[in-house]
Amino acid sequence: MGVDIESLSEATSGAIGSLLSTTILYPLDTCKTKYQAEVRAHGQQKYRKLSDVLWEAISNGQVHSLYQGLGTKNLQSFISQFVYFYGYSYFKRLYLKRSGNKSIGTKANLIIAATAGACTAIITQPLDTASSRMQTSAFGKSKGLWKTLTEGTWSDAFDGLGISLLLTSNPAIQYTVFDQLKRRMLKGKQNKAGGTSPQALSAFAAFVLGAVSKSIATVLTYPAIRCKVMIQAADPNENGTEKTQPRSRKTLAGVVCAIWKREGVLGFFKGLHAQILKTVLSSALLLMIKEKIAATTWVLILAIRRYLFLTRGRLKSA
């Protein structure tokens, strides 16, 4: 079976968009993750506001440490978005071809998006876990990717996989909402233009739709997001230089009980504003960049394919 060029183009443009948005917003992501990972103990907490994380880095002369784990995060982000967009685009085209429908309904869209998300979570979970541990390490004490992955057992690299699979509903909700809003917006433009409509959104329209769709998904899934961060976070006593005791296993039940006892119901939503700010900006930038480079990516892939085809033909005739 030949390569699905349209799915490949969607995956490539989505992965590039993810890479750029992750790099631009990474300091905010580090502050958010460290803030979420902390649980109040004995009525005291180190970070009372999100900005406290930033001021700690500045006061300790560790501003560059806001980028600790960036390489791992970019690798995880690029792979996950490539796999997700390819799977989502491919499964959607397959569904439309087999069903004979001209458009895809909301229920089918959710199932397809969740399936693509589950495949992505399983493939990239070790990188996701390593990235969270590197971000939540003390500033300037983060370990490298290989050391982070090999310091525990193989199963430790898949910490939080169950929640990650549950959180496939997050991008499923996001991209379903975005896709439906995009279709309605383009259809509205088509009606106003008398039958012709642009195939791509403007940068501003893509940004707004991305922000709205991600906000809805984030609010609905945030308690699970915070539990996942706490499960994957580095142990507070790890400093990156001394040999530490084997990492204690964190469970979902243990994390839920800790939040409930120390912070109450509102603790499950600690850092929600930071999560929304980061994820909305990230997803909006991702979708905006993807929309603008999709056509260029399509042309580039076709050009490369044509070049390889011509080269293969010349070699056969030689």
pLDDT in tens, the chain (318 residues): 455 666 667 677 777 777 888 888 899 989 999 988 887 655 567 888 888 889 998 988 888 889 988 999 989 888 887 888 788 888 888 888 888 887 777 778 778 878 888 888 899 999 999 988 888 888 878 888 888 877 777 788 888 888 988 888 887 777 778 888 888 888 877 777 666 655 667 777 887 887 788 788 888 899 999 999 989 887 765 554 444 455 556 788 888 998 888 888 888 999 898 888 887 787 677 777 777 777 677 667 677 777 666 776 666 665
Has this prediction a pTM greater than 0.85?
Answer: no
State residue 41's pLDDT score.
58
Strands (E), the chain: none
State residue 203's pLDDT score.
73
State residue 237's pLDDT score.
59
Contact criterion met (CB below 8 Å) for 92 and 102: no
Q: How many residues would you count in the chain?
A: 318
Residue with tokens 């995009």: 182
Dist. CA 186–CA 191, nearest whole Å: 9
State residue 43's pLDDT score.
59
Contact criterion met (CB below 8 Å) for 149 and 78: no
Long-range contacts of 67-70 (CB under 8 A, 24+ apart): 67/26, 67/27, 67/30, 68/30, 68/134, 68/135, 68/137, 68/139, 68/140, 68/142, 69/30, 69/130, 69/131, 69/134, 69/135, 69/142, 70/23, 70/26
